[in-house]
Amino acid sequence: GAGVSQTPSNKVTEKGKYVELRCDPISGHTALYWYRQSLGQGPEFLIYFQGTGAADDSGLPNDRFFAVRPEGSVSTLKIQRTERGDSAVYLCASSLGEPQETQYFGPGTRLLVL
């Protein structure tokens, strides 16, 4: 079956612009996670959804970052007024729901802010 997909695979934008990153989880997975991975680092937790609601958004770095999952499936990570420091690979993962369940990761979106 299809895995987690993310679009676009690469995004180049200018400082100050708005970007949206999309994640399509595995069908039937109720849990969805967003992470940010900078060069040479491990993934950094941003936000976790259970169904449509953000159950834990403690990892969002500031109010420029926002994520939605309106129908409990596809999720969009939105970044306003992008800064050069936002450049990273943004990863999405989905799972069946419980924290001990395996997370299945997408290939990531590489964001470059010029």
Partner 1 sequence: AQSVTQLDSQVPVFEEAPVELRCNYSSSVSVYLFWYVQYPNQGLQLLLKYLSGSTLVKGINGFEAEFNKSQTSFHLRKPSVHISDTAEYFCAVILTGGFKTIFGAGTRLFVKA
Alpha-carbon dihedral of residues 78, 89, 54, 82, nearest 10 degrees? -30
Residues 29-58 that bind partner 1 (CB under 8 A): 31, 33, 35, 40-45, 48, 50, 55-56, 58
Per rule CB under 8 A, is residue 110 in the interface with partner 1?
no
Residue 21 near partner 1 by CB under 8 A: no
Q: Provide DSSP, 70-92.
A: TTSS-EEEEE-S--GGG-EEEEE
Interface with partner 1, residue 27, by CB under 8 A: no
Whole-number Å distance between alpha carbons of 56 and 5: 22
Structure tokens, 78: 């939105």
* Position among 91, 94, 109, 113 found at the interface with partner 1 (CB under 8 A): 91
Residues that bind partner 1 (CB under 8 A): 3-4, 31, 33, 35, 40-45, 48, 50, 55-56, 58-59, 91, 93, 99-100, 102-108
